[in-house]
Amino acid sequence: MDQTKLVWQSKLVLLVVLPFTAADLVLKTHWWTTQSAPVALWTVGLSALLGLATWKLRAATAGGSAAGAAITASLVFSTLMFPYQPWHTALIPAIAVSMLAYLVTRMGREQKKKLGTVEPRNGRSAAQITANLGVAAIASSDPVLSWVTNSHCFTLSALAPTLLFTIGLAALAEAAADTVSSEVGQVFGGRPRLITTLRPVAPGQNGAVSLVGTLAGVIAAALVAVAGTLALRGSLTMFAVSCAGGVFGLLFDSLLGATLEEHGYLNNDAVNFLSTASAAVFALGLLAILPHS
């Protein structure tokens, strides 16, 4: 099936994430402006600066950079602690995801051109950015965290607010793992294999995995998990669960690619959105069953 016929899925991802994120951002910016204007100014300003840098580096289009800045600001507001220090918020793992993506997408460009998988010169679109980062913002928002702590399905009410960010951190870890695994695998992974049958396939095919690419993805997930855990002064549980969620989402992404995407039922943005969602859900499940002190 022609992937252009599935562009509605990219638009659906935007419609699901951006209005929610925009409303959350407006409300929190207004609240923090009335309570502590410097906090609101620093949060919005630093997020906007990250978005501007992303655009100037051509890592994303203007729309993609704006979407990334809005999502980052929402994540930072969701992880604020006093005394306010920007480096002790979700800004750090968000920067880690951006840096990893920027570095690996520019790796081996000539080889990727031959494969037809090189990223456009103007960078990722708003739909691509939203598909990768949107779940983290939603999972870290007040309505979702309130539902988690009050739900009869999970006994998480005693968890510290920082530990609850593990859910969103897992989604960020998966976003980094997916990008790094794909980009590194195409350049250094050799002949990949289809995750469902293990038969050799062409590099860049949906659902193709390689040992080198997968290991690179696991390392990327661990790096983002470490960045988030250190930034929020989290525990070993936070690191282990978010990293495990990221790796689970990475494998789930390949499975979706080899099945639903390869057969024309999902496009890449939908796959990325569902994969980050699977990472968040997996992390939530682990938090629900693991003992907490």
pTM greater than 0.85 (yes/no): yes
Residue ranges per domain, the chain? 3-289
What distance in Å separates the CA atoms of residue 138 and residue 254, rounded to the nearest whole number? 23
Q: Check whether 278 has a pLDDT greater than 60.
A: yes
Q: What is the pLDDT of residues 204-254, one digit of tens each?
A: 889 999 999 999 999 999 999 999 999 999 999 999 999 999 999 999 999
State the Cα torsion 54-57-61-63 to the nearest 10°. Answer: 30
**Strand extents, DSSP E, 83-142:** none
Tokens of 47: 């997020």
Residues whose CB falls within 8 Å of the CB of residue 145, separated by 6 or more in sequence, listed in order = 78, 161, 164
Q: Check whether 288 has a pLDDT greater than 90.
A: no
What distance in Å separates the CA atoms of residue 22 and residue 73, rounded to the nearest whole number? 10
116-146: b (≥16 Cβ within 10 Å) or e = eebbeeebbbbbbbbbbbbbbbbbbbeebbe
Among the ranges given (60-74, 188-202, 261-275), the one the predictor scored with the smallest mean pLDDT: 188-202
Q: What is the pLDDT of residues 110-122, one digit of tens each?
A: 776 766 666 767 8
AA letter at 33: T
Q: Considering only CA atoms, which of 165, 147, 166, 149 is closest in space to residue 157? A: 149
